[in-house]
Amino acid sequence: MEEKIFVQMTEKALFDFMLFHTYSKFAGFLSNVLGMAVAFIGIILTIMNKATIGQLVLYLVAAAIFVSFTPIQLKMRAKKQMQTNAEYKEGCSYLFRKENLTRVQGECETVFEWNQIEKVVSTPKTIGFYYGPDKALIVPKECFENRFVQIMQIVMQNVDMSKVNVR
Q: What is the pLDDT of residue 167?
A: 75
Q: What is the pLDDT of residue 166?
A: 87
* Domain 2-9+86-165 in CATH 2.30.29.30: yes
pLDDT reading at 1 higher than 90: no
What is the average per-residue pLDDT within 48-68?
96
Pairwise CA distance, residues 78 & 84, whole Å: 10
pTM, 2 dp:
0.88
Mean pLDDT across the chain? 95
What spatial distance separates the first Cα and last Cα of the chain, rounded to whole Å? 23
* % of residues, the chain, pLDDT over 90: 90
What is the average per-residue pLDDT within 40-48?
97
Q: What is the pLDDT of residue 156?
A: 94
Which helix (DSSP H) or strand (DSSP E) does residue 92 occupy?
Answer: strand 92-97
